[in-house]
Homo-oligomer: A and B are copies of this chain.
Amino acid sequence: MKNFLDLADLGRDQVVDLLALADRLRERPEPTALAGRVLGLLFFNPSLRSMTSMRVAMARLGGESVAVTPGAGSWQLETRSGVTMTGAAAEHIREAIPVLDSYCDALGVRAFAEGRDLAADLGERTFTAIASLCRNPLINLESSANHPCQALADWKTLDDLSVPRRGRFVLAWANHPRALPLAVPAAVSQMAALRGMEVVVLRPEGYALPETVMEKARRAAAASGGSVTETDDRDAALTGAHVVYAKEWGSTAHYGDAEADARARAGLADWMVRESWFAAAAAGCHLMHCLPVRRNVAIADEVLDGPRSRVLQQAHNRLVVQMAVLYRLLGGNGRRH
Contact = CB atoms under 8 A, between A and B. Distances in A.
Interface residues of A, number: 63
A328 interface: no
Most interface-central of A53, A85, A304, A335 (chain B CB within 10 A) = A85
A31 interface: yes
B85 A297 contact: yes
Interface in A289-337: 291-297, 301, 304-305, 311-312, 315-316, 319, 335, 337
Nearest to A25: B337
A267 interface: no
Interface in A80-97: 82-86, 90-92, 94-96
Q: Tell me what chain A mostly uses at the interface: helix, strand, loop, or mixed.
A: mixed
A75 B295 contact: no
B36 A31 contact: yes
Interface string A94-122: 11101110111000000000000000000
A96 B83 CA distance: 40
Given A85-B296, A86-B297, A102-B319, 12 more contacts: A31-B36, A36-B60, A51-B74, A53-B103, A59-B66, A60-B337, A67-B73, A85-B297, A86-B177, A91-B293, A95-B311, A103-B319
